[in-house]
Structures are given as C-alpha cells and as structure tokens.
Amino acid sequence: MMFSKPFFTATILAVLASVVSAADKCDDRTGKVQPNDTCDKICQRDQVSIFQLRHFNTWIDAACSNLKDQDLCLSMKGKDCTSIYKVQTTDTQGCWGIAHDHGIDLSVFMANNGNPDCTKLYPGEWVCVAAKEIPYTSK
C-alpha cells in the first residue's frame, strides 16, 4: 500500500510541529541557556522562580543537566511572578517563614511554588513571593 503525497506531507508537518521548542510557543519572556548555566543561575539572571522555569520548560530534567544550547520560555502573559526571593541558609522556618517575612499567605506561597507539602526548599533556590496567586494552570 502506498501513501499519498498529501498524507506524507501532513505526517511530516505534524512531526515537526511536535518538536517545536517551548520558547517558540512562549508569548512573553524568553531566554537562551548560556555556557555553564545551571537552573539557579538562570533564575537569578532572568529573575524567575525555579517552579516557573520548570513549569514552562517541562523538558528540563531533575538535575537540570540537559540545558546546553536550549531556548527557554521564562513566562507567559498573565503568568509571570515578578517578585522572587533566593532561599537563604538562615530561612529555618521554611515556607511559613518566607511567606511570613514577605507578608503573603502561606497557601499563596505554596501555590506559586508548586510545593504543596513544603519539603523541597533548598538554600539558593529562587522562589516566588508574589502576594497574589499566579494562574499557572489556567489557559
């Protein structure tokens, strides 16, 4: 059985569309990974929380070791936390302490950082400290 030329063309186009990078779909801030970048370096330079960086770039692996030469989506319209904070070794009260110190509700802090049980904070991590919940899950 032979495939028609339109079928073959449509198949190729579908495959190409499926490999479009996250940055190509991004409708707000974008970036490019620089040599020797880590997720934390990107977050600091581009003023983005680690949760937001991972949310819009789902291809980033757990160790942030697959960054080389990648394009990044840093935010989408209406979904950009512009108030970020670097977790310190002195933040011994965890999420509650950071939320309290920034005058925000703990539930908002946890929603904006994708950390519902508040066990994944580490010194050097960039977190969102916006006073309002960012609608990451809305379309």
pLDDT tens string 105-119: 999 999 999 877 788
The answer to pTM > 0.75 is: yes
Dihedral through CA 107, CA 31, CA 89, CA 97, nearest 10? -20
According to the model, what pLDDT value does residue 133 have? Answer: 95
Q: What is the DSSP string of the chain?
A: -PPPHHHHHHHHHHHHHHT--HHHH-SS-EEEPPTT--HHHHHHHHT--HHHHHHH-TT--TTS---TT-EEE--BTTB----EEE--TT-TTHHHHHHHHTT--HHHHHHHHT-TT-----TT-EEE--SS---TT--
pLDDT score of 132: 96
**Amino acid identity for residue 41 in this structure:** K
pLDDT digits (tens, 9 = 90+) for 73-108: 999 999 999 999 999 999 989 999 999 999 999 999
Residue 8 has pLDDT above 50, yes or no: no
Question: In the CATH scheme, what architecture does the domain 21-128 have?
Answer: Roll (3.10)
